[in-house]
Amino acid sequence: MMQLLPLTAAEEDFLARGPLASSFPPERLTRSLAAWLSARLRLPLQVQGFTIPVPCSVADVPQWRRDPLLDTLWLTCRLGGRQVRGAAAPEQPGLTRTLNQLLAETWLDTGDAFELPLTLGWQIGWPGQSATLELDLPGERRRMKRWALEVIRDID
């Protein structure tokens, strides 16, 4: 029978901390989000991550929640406008597709970097306005990886 050595003080401290803390939000996803949206909208955006301590929901696939103002910005810029005015636009499928593609690519590169389930949040600002964007990630890595592969496969 093999006998184990006693834990060192450093090992005991590590175990006492509990589950690994995630980086909220993962910096790579935040940088990619800022770059992708700025390029697609042709508008300089400021993207700042914020902490959501408890996952809001656990689903089988990632779930985006966003201010309607972000959909209005998307529609306005994609149609050539520069200033967001008027009534809120309905949810834009092109924005959802773009967010899913970005998440899928980032997940396949760095998916083991944080604990699941997880809810991430961002404050997205542009001259004179801002909107929030939140993301609920599923609780299982296997489902998340399958979803990411399906999204990548469906890119035209």
- What is the per-residue pLDDT across 42-91, written as a single tens digit (0 to 9) for each? 889 999 988 776 666 677 889 999 999 999 999 998 888 877 877 778 89
Pairwise CA distance, residues 148 & 19, whole Å: 25
pLDDT for the residue numbered 23: 43
Q: Whole-prediction pTM value?
A: 0.77
- Strand ranges, E, within the chain: 46-51, 63-66, 118-126, 129-137
Q: Taking 90 as the threshold, does the pLDDT of residue 113 lie above it?
A: no
Two structure tokens written together for 54? 């408890």
pLDDT for the residue numbered 69: 92
Query: Domain 23-153 in CATH: superfamily?
Result: CheC-like (3.40.1550.10)
* 154 — pLDDT class (breaks 50, 70, 90): confident
Map out the domains of the chain as residue ranges.
23-153
Q: Taking 90 as the threshold, does the pLDDT of residue 132 lie above it?
A: yes
The Cα-based distances of 24 to 29, 136, 154 in angstroms read 10, 12, 29
The tens digit of pLDDT for each residue in 4-29 reads 788 788 777 666 665 444 443 478 88
Note whether 152 and 104 are within 8 A (CB): yes
